[in-house]
Amino acid sequence: MKDILAELEDRRETARLGGGQPRIDAQHGRGKLTARERIDLLVDEGSFEEFDMFVTHRCTDFGMEQQKPAGDGVVTGWGTINGRQVYVFSQDFTVLGGSVSATHAKKICKIMDMAVQNGAPVIGINDSGGARIQEGVDSLAGYGDVFQRNIMASGVVPQISVIMGPCAGGAVYSPAMTDFIFMVRDSSYMFVTGPDVVKTVTNEQVTAEELGGAGTHTRKSSVADAAFENDVEALAEVRRLVDFLPASNREKPPVRPFFDDPARIEDSLDTLVPENPNMPYDMKELILKLADEADFYEIQGEFAKNIITGFIRLEGQTVGVVANQPMVLAGCLDIDSARKAARFVRFCDCFEIPLLTLVDVPGFLPGTTQEYNGVIKHGAKLLFAYGEATVPKITVITRKAYGGAYVVMSSKHLQGDINYAWPTSEIAVMGAKGATEIIHRADLKDPEKLARHTADYEARFANPFVAAERGFIDEVIQPHSTRKRVARAFASLRAKRVQMPWKKHDNIPL
Is 213 tagged catalytic?
Answer: no
Q: Chain-centre distance of CA 460, in angstroms?
A: 40
Quote the DSSP letter at residue 100: B
Instruction: For residue 175, give the H/E element and its range.
Output: helix 173-176
Catalytic option among 301, 404, 434, 468: 404
Cα gap 39→239, rounded to integer Å: 11
User: Residue 461's Cα: distance from chain center in Å?
Assistant: 36
CA angle 469, 473, 478 (to 5 degrees): 105
Are the C-beta atoms of residues 35 and 59 closer than 8 Å to each other?
no
**Apex CA 263: angle with CA 262 and CA 266, to 5°?**
105
Alpha-carbon distance of 154 to 149, in angstroms, equals: 8
Whole-angstrom distance, CA of residue 361 vs CA of residue 355: 18
Q: Helix, strand, coil: what percent of the chain each, to 5? A: 45, 20, 35
**In degrees, to the nearest 5, what angle opens at C-alpha 96 toward C-alphas 147 and 86?**
45
Active site annotation includes 316: no
Largest Cα span, the chain? 102
Catalytic residue, candidates 35, 304, 342, 405: 405
Q: CA-CA distance, 475 to 105, in Å (whole number)?
A: 54
170 counts as catalytic: yes
Nearest to 467 by CA among 409, 435, 405, 420: 420
Kindly write down the DSSP assignment for every residue of 306-346, as one continuous string.
TEEEEEEEETTEEEEEEEE-TTTGGG-B-HHHHHHHHHHHH
Which residue out of 19, 98, 124, 169 is catalytically annotated? 169
How many CB atoms are located within 10 Å of the residue 430 CB? Answer: 18
Which contacts (CB < 8 Å, 24+ apart) does range 175-180 have? 175/124, 175/126, 176/223, 177/147, 177/150, 177/151, 178/122, 178/124, 178/150, 179/154, 179/347, 180/225, 180/241, 180/299
In sequence order, the β-bridge partners of residue 485 are none
Catalytic site includes residue 144: no
Query: In sequence order, what DSSP letters do the residues of 141-165 get, joined into one string?
Result: HHHHHHHHHHHHHTTTS-EEEEE-S
- Give the residue ranges of DSSP H helices in 248-297: 283-290
Q: Which of 155, 170, 215, 434 is catalytic?
A: 170
**Could you give the C-alpha distances from 38 to 76, 89, 98, 144, 238, in angstroms and in order?**
12, 10, 14, 26, 11
Q: What positions carry a catalytic annotation?
A: 169-170, 404-405
